Amino acid sequence: MLSILVTNALILAGCFALLWLICLPMRDVTPVDSFWAWGMLVMAATSYAQAGGDPQRKLLLLGLCGLWAARLGSYMIWRWRDHGPDRRYQALLGKAESAKGWSFAKASALLVFATQAPLLFVVCLPVQLGQVDAAPAVGVLGWIGAGVALAGILFETVGDAQLVRFKRDPANAGQVMNRGLWRYTRHPNYFGDALTWWGLWLIAAETGTGLWALPGPVLLTWTLMKWSGAPTIERRLGKTREGYADYVRQTSGFVPWPPKRV
Protein backbone atom coordinates (compact mmCIF):
# COMPACT_ATOMS: atom_id res chain seq x y z
CA MET A 1 0.00 0.00 0.00
CA LEU A 2 2.76 2.44 0.95
CA SER A 3 4.63 1.72 -2.28
CA ILE A 4 1.49 2.43 -4.34
CA LEU A 5 0.77 5.69 -2.54
CA VAL A 6 4.35 6.96 -2.82
CA THR A 7 4.53 6.09 -6.51
CA ASN A 8 1.16 7.74 -7.14
CA ALA A 9 2.21 10.87 -5.25
CA LEU A 10 5.35 11.22 -7.36
CA ILE A 11 3.41 10.71 -10.59
CA LEU A 12 0.80 13.25 -9.53
CA ALA A 13 3.47 15.80 -8.59
CA GLY A 14 5.03 15.35 -12.02
CA CYS A 15 1.68 15.82 -13.75
CA PHE A 16 0.95 19.02 -11.83
CA ALA A 17 4.44 20.37 -12.52
CA LEU A 18 3.96 19.73 -16.24
CA LEU A 19 0.53 21.38 -16.24
CA TRP A 20 1.99 24.39 -14.41
CA LEU A 21 4.62 24.78 -17.12
CA ILE A 22 1.93 24.57 -19.81
CA CYS A 23 -0.19 27.23 -18.08
CA LEU A 24 2.66 29.73 -17.57
CA PRO A 25 2.81 31.08 -21.16
CA MET A 26 -0.99 31.44 -21.19
CA ARG A 27 -1.06 33.17 -17.81
CA ASP A 28 -4.22 31.18 -17.18
CA VAL A 29 -4.53 28.32 -14.67
CA THR A 30 -8.15 27.44 -15.49
CA PRO A 31 -7.13 24.08 -17.09
CA VAL A 32 -6.37 22.83 -13.57
CA ASP A 33 -10.13 22.45 -13.07
CA SER A 34 -10.26 19.90 -15.86
CA PHE A 35 -7.21 18.10 -14.52
CA TRP A 36 -9.02 17.76 -11.19
CA ALA A 37 -10.99 15.03 -12.94
CA TRP A 38 -8.31 13.60 -15.24
CA GLY A 39 -5.77 13.51 -12.39
CA MET A 40 -8.03 11.27 -10.33
CA LEU A 41 -8.32 8.92 -13.30
CA VAL A 42 -4.52 8.86 -13.51
CA MET A 43 -4.40 7.84 -9.84
CA ALA A 44 -6.98 5.11 -10.44
CA ALA A 45 -5.06 3.82 -13.48
CA THR A 46 -1.65 3.79 -11.80
CA SER A 47 -3.17 2.00 -8.79
CA TYR A 48 -4.78 -0.51 -11.15
CA ALA A 49 -1.38 -1.21 -12.69
CA GLN A 50 0.37 -1.67 -9.35
CA ALA A 51 -2.17 -3.25 -7.00
CA GLY A 52 -2.93 -6.95 -6.68
CA GLY A 53 -6.46 -6.57 -5.37
CA ASP A 54 -9.66 -8.30 -6.40
CA PRO A 55 -9.86 -7.94 -10.22
CA GLN A 56 -13.58 -7.20 -10.24
CA ARG A 57 -13.29 -4.46 -7.63
CA LYS A 58 -10.29 -2.96 -9.39
CA LEU A 59 -12.13 -2.86 -12.70
CA LEU A 60 -15.26 -1.44 -11.07
CA LEU A 61 -13.34 1.38 -9.39
CA LEU A 62 -11.32 2.18 -12.49
CA GLY A 63 -14.36 2.08 -14.78
CA LEU A 64 -16.58 4.28 -12.63
CA CYS A 65 -13.76 6.75 -11.98
CA GLY A 66 -13.08 6.83 -15.71
CA LEU A 67 -16.73 7.52 -16.53
CA TRP A 68 -16.88 10.32 -13.95
CA ALA A 69 -13.57 11.83 -15.09
CA ALA A 70 -14.41 11.72 -18.80
CA ARG A 71 -17.71 13.50 -18.21
CA LEU A 72 -16.46 16.16 -15.81
CA GLY A 73 -13.05 16.66 -17.41
CA SER A 74 -14.55 17.16 -20.88
CA TYR A 75 -17.19 19.52 -19.53
CA MET A 76 -14.60 21.64 -17.74
CA ILE A 77 -12.48 21.90 -20.88
CA TRP A 78 -15.54 22.98 -22.88
CA ARG A 79 -16.49 25.54 -20.25
CA TRP A 80 -13.00 26.99 -20.23
CA ARG A 81 -12.95 27.31 -24.01
CA ASP A 82 -16.47 28.74 -24.05
CA HIS A 83 -16.34 31.06 -21.02
CA GLY A 84 -12.65 31.97 -20.89
CA PRO A 85 -10.42 32.20 -17.78
CA ASP A 86 -12.00 31.55 -14.41
CA ARG A 87 -12.58 34.85 -12.60
CA ARG A 88 -11.85 33.29 -9.21
CA TYR A 89 -8.31 32.39 -10.24
CA GLN A 90 -7.80 35.77 -11.88
CA ALA A 91 -8.80 37.54 -8.67
CA LEU A 92 -6.68 35.26 -6.47
CA LEU A 93 -3.53 35.56 -8.55
CA GLY A 94 -4.05 39.24 -9.31
CA LYS A 95 -4.22 39.99 -5.59
CA ALA A 96 -1.05 38.01 -4.91
CA GLU A 97 0.79 39.84 -7.68
CA SER A 98 -0.35 43.31 -6.65
CA ALA A 99 -0.39 43.00 -2.86
CA LYS A 100 2.59 40.69 -2.33
CA GLY A 101 4.61 41.45 -5.42
CA TRP A 102 4.69 37.79 -6.46
CA SER A 103 5.26 36.80 -10.05
CA PHE A 104 2.54 34.89 -11.89
CA ALA A 105 4.74 31.79 -11.81
CA LYS A 106 5.20 31.92 -8.04
CA ALA A 107 1.58 32.80 -7.26
CA SER A 108 0.14 30.08 -9.48
CA ALA A 109 2.58 27.46 -8.22
CA LEU A 110 1.94 28.14 -4.52
CA LEU A 111 -1.71 29.17 -4.48
CA VAL A 112 -3.15 26.85 -7.12
CA PHE A 113 -1.03 23.87 -8.09
CA ALA A 114 0.66 23.18 -4.76
CA THR A 115 -2.73 23.46 -3.07
CA GLN A 116 -4.78 21.32 -5.42
CA ALA A 117 -2.30 18.45 -5.79
CA PRO A 118 -2.54 17.19 -2.16
CA LEU A 119 -6.30 17.79 -2.12
CA LEU A 120 -6.73 15.69 -5.25
CA PHE A 121 -4.52 12.95 -3.82
CA VAL A 122 -6.59 12.67 -0.63
CA VAL A 123 -10.00 12.93 -2.32
CA CYS A 124 -9.26 10.04 -4.67
CA LEU A 125 -8.05 7.69 -1.92
CA PRO A 126 -11.03 5.34 -2.54
CA VAL A 127 -9.80 4.44 -6.03
CA GLN A 128 -6.28 3.99 -4.71
CA LEU A 129 -6.73 2.05 -1.46
CA GLY A 130 -9.79 0.18 -2.71
CA GLN A 131 -7.66 -1.73 -5.21
CA VAL A 132 -5.11 -3.10 -2.74
CA ASP A 133 -6.78 -6.07 -1.01
CA ALA A 134 -7.35 -9.35 -2.87
CA ALA A 135 -10.35 -10.25 -0.70
CA PRO A 136 -13.24 -10.14 -0.22
CA ALA A 137 -14.97 -10.17 -3.59
CA VAL A 138 -17.39 -7.38 -4.46
CA GLY A 139 -20.50 -7.90 -2.34
CA VAL A 140 -23.76 -6.14 -1.53
CA LEU A 141 -22.09 -3.01 -0.16
CA GLY A 142 -19.89 -2.73 -3.23
CA TRP A 143 -22.78 -2.99 -5.66
CA ILE A 144 -24.76 -0.45 -3.62
CA GLY A 145 -21.74 1.83 -3.89
CA ALA A 146 -21.63 1.34 -7.65
CA GLY A 147 -25.30 2.33 -7.86
CA VAL A 148 -24.68 5.40 -5.70
CA ALA A 149 -21.72 6.43 -7.85
CA LEU A 150 -23.72 6.05 -11.07
CA ALA A 151 -26.58 8.06 -9.56
CA GLY A 152 -24.12 10.81 -8.65
CA ILE A 153 -22.66 10.94 -12.17
CA LEU A 154 -26.15 11.11 -13.67
CA PHE A 155 -27.28 13.78 -11.20
CA GLU A 156 -24.40 16.15 -11.87
CA THR A 157 -24.58 15.53 -15.61
CA VAL A 158 -28.26 16.48 -15.73
CA GLY A 159 -27.68 19.49 -13.46
CA ASP A 160 -24.86 20.85 -15.63
CA ALA A 161 -26.86 20.29 -18.82
CA GLN A 162 -29.87 22.13 -17.39
CA LEU A 163 -27.70 25.08 -16.36
CA VAL A 164 -26.04 25.32 -19.79
CA ARG A 165 -29.44 25.27 -21.51
CA PHE A 166 -30.74 27.94 -19.12
CA LYS A 167 -27.79 30.27 -19.74
CA ARG A 168 -28.02 29.93 -23.51
CA ASP A 169 -31.53 31.40 -23.53
CA PRO A 170 -31.21 35.21 -23.81
CA ALA A 171 -34.53 35.57 -21.97
CA ASN A 172 -32.86 34.23 -18.82
CA ALA A 173 -30.09 36.84 -18.70
CA GLY A 174 -29.61 38.02 -15.12
CA GLN A 175 -32.18 35.55 -13.82
CA VAL A 176 -31.77 32.90 -11.11
CA MET A 177 -31.71 29.29 -12.24
CA ASN A 178 -34.41 27.63 -10.15
CA ARG A 179 -35.73 24.95 -12.48
CA GLY A 180 -35.19 21.23 -12.90
CA LEU A 181 -32.80 19.83 -10.32
CA TRP A 182 -31.89 23.39 -9.33
CA ARG A 183 -35.35 23.70 -7.81
CA TYR A 184 -34.40 21.11 -5.17
CA THR A 185 -30.79 21.98 -4.48
CA ARG A 186 -28.75 25.10 -5.18
CA HIS A 187 -25.81 22.93 -6.26
CA PRO A 188 -26.87 19.72 -8.05
CA ASN A 189 -23.46 19.52 -9.72
CA TYR A 190 -21.65 19.57 -6.37
CA PHE A 191 -24.09 17.17 -4.76
CA GLY A 192 -23.68 14.73 -7.64
CA ASP A 193 -19.91 15.02 -7.37
CA ALA A 194 -19.95 14.20 -3.66
CA LEU A 195 -22.44 11.36 -4.18
CA THR A 196 -20.15 9.79 -6.78
CA TRP A 197 -17.17 9.69 -4.43
CA TRP A 198 -19.20 8.41 -1.51
CA GLY A 199 -20.28 5.59 -3.81
CA LEU A 200 -16.69 4.83 -4.76
CA TRP A 201 -15.77 4.80 -1.10
CA LEU A 202 -18.52 2.25 -0.38
CA ILE A 203 -16.99 -0.01 -3.03
CA ALA A 204 -13.56 0.38 -1.44
CA ALA A 205 -14.89 0.07 2.13
CA GLU A 206 -15.67 -3.62 1.69
CA THR A 207 -11.93 -4.17 2.10
CA GLY A 208 -9.92 -3.48 5.22
CA THR A 209 -7.50 -1.18 3.42
CA GLY A 210 -10.19 0.62 1.45
CA LEU A 211 -12.04 1.47 4.64
CA TRP A 212 -9.20 3.89 5.47
CA ALA A 213 -10.06 5.96 2.39
CA LEU A 214 -12.86 7.70 4.33
CA PRO A 215 -11.00 11.05 4.49
CA GLY A 216 -11.44 11.28 0.69
CA PRO A 217 -15.21 11.77 0.43
CA VAL A 218 -15.27 13.65 3.74
CA LEU A 219 -12.74 16.20 2.47
CA LEU A 220 -14.50 16.55 -0.88
CA THR A 221 -17.90 17.12 0.73
CA TRP A 222 -16.49 19.71 3.15
CA THR A 223 -14.64 21.47 0.31
CA LEU A 224 -17.76 21.68 -1.85
CA MET A 225 -20.08 22.76 0.96
CA LYS A 226 -17.89 24.99 3.11
CA TRP A 227 -14.78 26.14 1.30
CA SER A 228 -14.06 26.59 -2.41
CA GLY A 229 -17.36 25.32 -3.83
CA ALA A 230 -20.77 26.62 -2.81
CA PRO A 231 -19.63 29.56 -0.60
CA THR A 232 -17.56 31.13 -3.39
CA ILE A 233 -20.35 30.92 -5.96
CA GLU A 234 -23.06 32.07 -3.58
CA ARG A 235 -21.14 35.16 -2.51
CA ARG A 236 -20.84 36.21 -6.14
CA LEU A 237 -24.41 35.40 -7.14
CA GLY A 238 -25.75 37.13 -4.04
CA LYS A 239 -24.26 40.36 -5.37
CA THR A 240 -25.10 39.95 -9.06
CA ARG A 241 -28.48 38.15 -9.22
CA GLU A 242 -31.64 39.89 -8.14
CA GLY A 243 -33.83 37.49 -6.20
CA TYR A 244 -30.97 35.17 -5.25
CA ALA A 245 -31.56 35.78 -1.53
CA ASP A 246 -35.13 34.49 -1.94
CA TYR A 247 -33.80 31.48 -3.83
CA VAL A 248 -31.41 30.73 -0.96
CA ARG A 249 -34.23 30.89 1.58
CA GLN A 250 -36.41 28.55 -0.47
CA THR A 251 -33.92 26.00 -1.75
CA SER A 252 -31.77 23.39 -0.02
CA GLY A 253 -28.09 24.26 -0.02
CA PHE A 254 -26.80 20.81 -0.89
CA VAL A 255 -28.93 17.70 -0.37
CA PRO A 256 -31.97 17.77 -2.71
CA TRP A 257 -35.17 18.63 -0.88
CA PRO A 258 -38.56 20.10 -1.86
CA PRO A 259 -38.43 23.91 -1.83
CA LYS A 260 -39.71 25.78 1.20
CA ARG A 261 -42.68 28.08 1.09
CA VAL A 262 -41.66 31.64 1.95
* Residue 259, domain member (yes or no): no
Position 205 confidence tier, pLDDT thresholds 50, 70, 90: very high
From residue 15, alpha-carbon distances to 110, 125, 175 in Å are 15, 17, 39
Residue range 186-190: average pLDDT? 95
Owning domain of residue 120 = 2-250
* Residue 256, domain member (yes or no): no
CA angle at 212 for the pair 211 and 218, rounded to the nearest 5°:
95
CA dist., res. 245 & res. 164, Å (int): 22
CA dist., res. 108 & res. 20, Å (int): 8
* Residue 236, domain member (yes or no): yes
Q: What is the pLDDT of residues 111-146, one digit of tens each?
A: 999 999 999 999 999 999 999 999 999 999 999 999
What letter represents residue 155's amino acid? Answer: F
* Residue 120, domain member (yes or no): yes
pTM comes to 0.94
* Residue 146, domain member (yes or no): yes
Phi, psi of 141, deg, nearest 5? -60, -40
* Residue 262, domain member (yes or no): no
Report the domain count for the chain.
1
Residue range 63-89: average pLDDT? 95
* Residue 55, domain member (yes or no): yes
* Residue 227, domain member (yes or no): yes
Q: What percent of the chain has pLDDT over 70?
A: 100
